[in-house]
Amino acid sequence: MALPPAPFPAARFRRMRSSAALRGLMRETTLTVDDLIWPVFVMEGEDTATPIPSMPDVARLTVDRVVQAAGEAASLGIPAICLFPYIEPSLKTPGCELAWDPGNLSNRATRAIKAAVPEIAVMTDVALDPYNANGHDGIVRDGVIVNDETVEALVRMALAQADAGADILGPSDMMDGRIGAMRSALEAAGHENVTILSYAAKYASAFYGPFRDAVGASGALKGDKKTYQMDPGNTDEALRLIARDLAEGADMVMVKPGLPYLDICRRVKDRFGVPTYAYQVSGEYAMIRGAADNGWVDGDKVMMESLIAFKRAGCDGILTYFAPAAARALRAGG
């Protein structure tokens, strides 16, 4: 804890704010391009970008365009890109078999990026929802999302992604026991250096709305995800989940969504001192851009202020759709 300040006028806090030089000297937290992970949406086809109406300036990209985007990200210094596939509705099945097909869209995109832009880390999403006929992150039997059978499917999916060259696996499914199962399967398969960034404290949130449009899961989803994602009222549970996932072999942990859950980020960092990330999710992006595009707030300034908030709350990095814009702003001295 900071000591109590000397009484006025011995302490005048405005002295240290009186010039940009002094403000810079005193700044405790900074954002750098190294803190950014850029989530992108991939679709089939060639040389096409399909805009996502609820996410201005975000589009689904064909694999060739994603490779281009990865190249641009790398040249801006962004360390990692995170792939989310848009799967045609006719290819979604109740068994989600496409999820672990070595030649599926996500795995082809990973291979193409690693071949063309080897220096950028590729993160993949380990969850069944894009492939699932009913939009859930788990396999559904008689209306129940079954845990253990889903974990088996996730392990197959994770291995296929590691084989394709993924550097970071991001299990975003919230099943129990999947980190340990994935970690031992990766070790057994010789993928001992593939990292796991566990979506450990992921809340059942309405802030995911635009994302579900982007990956085409909104139409498919029946019901909600409250039996596996967390209740927004909970915080101790987040710590227990994080302790569990670390013990099972996660290298990094995530809190999701971001800004509404910064208290969780801070508790996690203070308690565990491990690489901690937050996901500034689609709805957060949409809110900022919606207000900015209406002229109600200064978009660039609010973007940078929202990103520094994650760092201040203890995060080591942020998954954000703003990654390229933020990298450009940092480069320009913002």
Task: Give catalytic residues, as residue numbers.
Answer: 202, 256
CA gap 120, 73 in Å, rounded? 8
Question: To the nearest whole angstrom, how small is the minimum distance from the Cβ of residue 4 to ligand PBG?
Answer: 42
- Under the phi-then-psi rule, with left for phi > 0, alpha for psi from -120 to 50, and beta for the rest, what region is 295? left
Q: Which is nearer to ligand PBG, 186 or 281 (CB)?
A: 281
Q: Output the smallest distance, CB 257 to ligand PBG, in A.
A: 7
Cα atoms in the 13 Å half-sphere on the side-chain side of 259 = 19
Going by C-alpha positions, the residue among 179, 178, 228 that lies closest to residue 203 is: 228
With CB atoms as reference, the residue minimizing the distance to ligand PBG is 211
Please name which of 160, 164, 203 lies closest in space to residue 182, comparing C-alpha atoms: 160
- Which CB, 150 or 172, lies closer to ligand PBG? 172
Q: How many angstroms separate the CA atoms of 54 and 49, rounded?
A: 15
Nearer to ligand PBG, 118 or 252 (CB): 252
Are the C-beta atoms of residues 289 and 51 closer than 8 Å to each other? Answer: no
**Residue 14 CB, nearest approach to ligand PBG (Å):** 40
CA atoms within 13 A on the CB side of 141: 5
Output DSSP code: residue 93: B
- Nearest CB to ligand PBG, comparing residues 37 and 309: 37
Least CB distance to ligand PBG at residue 230 (A): 11
Residues of the shown chain interacting with ligand PBG in the complex, contacts defined by CB under 6 A = 125, 127, 129, 137, 172, 208, 211-212, 225, 281-282
